[in-house]
Structure 1
Amino acid sequence: MPISVSLRWLAPCLLSVGLAACSSPPQRAADGQDPRFQPASASDILAQTSWDLARWTKPDGALRPVPHPSTRSRPLTVSFIHEQGAPRMAGFAGCNQYSASYTVANGLLIVRDHPVATMMACAPGSMKLEQDFLAGMTRITASSVDNTNNPQRMTWVLSSGDTLDFGRRTDPIVGGQQGPTKLVYVNSERVPCSAGAGRAMCYQVRDSAAQPWQFWYGEITGFHFQPGIRYRLRVVEVQDPNPPADASSLRWVLDAVVEQEIVSR
């Protein structure tokens, strides 16, 4: 049989095999996790962290004066958050609040657009510092943290040769006695439940994909829930020293959105 005829005969067969493979149900991992779950940002170790600028070193080694809490001055800050899966950075630049989108690729912090800031005027020195700080964000050539599991120091190197060192801030929303970090699944809808003396809307949560859903009667601080999306979160368990009446003293604070999946209705 001529080669061209053989290829024409094989093409429909290969196509049918490919379609059959595409139509087969996805395989599940050994722990029961659905592989359709995609990490929101598997390499983003900065998610849900906040920082103060502690030191600005010029290329010649001289230190540029920056505001610092020890001098009763408001420091320059940056916080990294995930809003419905979209990474955003925001903070105080010296005069104004700012925000920008970012990504982390191979450990490098990349600010994806020029930061948008409010328009308040202040002293010329503070304005100059703010302008240089915001401009420097888009010129980061190297970035690093001291500990990938629990970073306490972050460093940026700018294309100008300047080096910015940041110290980790204590998350003000945690409060109370901090407990362990854990991974939990959160279902795609909240459901009515009995809470104390009345009715409430509860999250459905579980520790693994093989377990049944259970009610979580409290809130998840810092989590922006969107119906129709199933999540896997890394949360910190904390003891609330002053819980509301008829409420649990245990609450969760979001550390990071690990995975999310759109659930078809």
Structure 2
Amino acid sequence: MNHRPLLLPLALLVPLALAACNKPAEPAADPAATSMAADPAAPPALADTAALLPAYHWRLAEATDAQGQKIEALFVNADKPVQLDFVDGRVSVSNTCNRMSGGFAQTGDTATLGPFASTLMACPDPALAALDAEVGKRLEGELTVASTAGEVPQLVLTNTAGDRLVFHGTATPDTRFGGPGERVFLEVAAQTQPCSHPLIPDKQCLQVREITFDDNGLRSGEPGEWQNFYDQIEGFSHQPGTRNVLRVNRYTVANPPADGSSQAFVLDMVVESELVKP
């Protein structure tokens, strides 16, 4: 079969050509919109606060009043900023004079904290002694809450007086190790002992044995044998001459390095502490 080329009359070709020439140009992209889309400094999206809060320790990084002035009374110890921890509908406050705790409930972007209860320790430093009241005054009651996830998660609490507190998140051990640890009690002897280590000459090891307590908080059973403890207990610093009983969380380390331990120990609390005479 022979195919003949399609021939259009000139009267039709001219209007088609003119229409092509007169086609309106595509609108130029909005530079501001492009910049916003590509700006790596743009704030991260709001996070699921309910899921984010219990996964991190929240340490105070900024605090300003309604006039934008820094609230100096909340920054007593730069090395130990006020810290919040959220667990099972409660919030605990540490790095204050006394440990404080209270209820926590959130609906949308509004949270209610407190009332707070605290231990009754006396602190000789007047600024530290006053910190409990300063924290309670800013955190107790109704606040607006916002959080963002990212390399450094952020929690912002603003009270009805206009005080704005910004906390930065540090992953909890449960978050870092991928699940809850095993709760164990370790007795740490007053003195370390020399122990052999392939990489550390003249190494001194803690002397540790595992103990158990019954439901009434009394020791039960026989303690384990004293053993060289080659690992570290995160959050615990041994003082020579002091015997301690520690409540720790023991975690399994996934893919430990060749020279590392397959377990990690994190201090939960010091149960007993005794100065032992030589």
Which TM-score bucket, shorter chain as reference? 0.3 to 0.5
Report the structure number with the largest CA radius of gyration: 2
Using CA pairs under 8 Å that are at least 6 residues apart, name the structure with larger relative contact order, 1 or 2.
Answer: 1
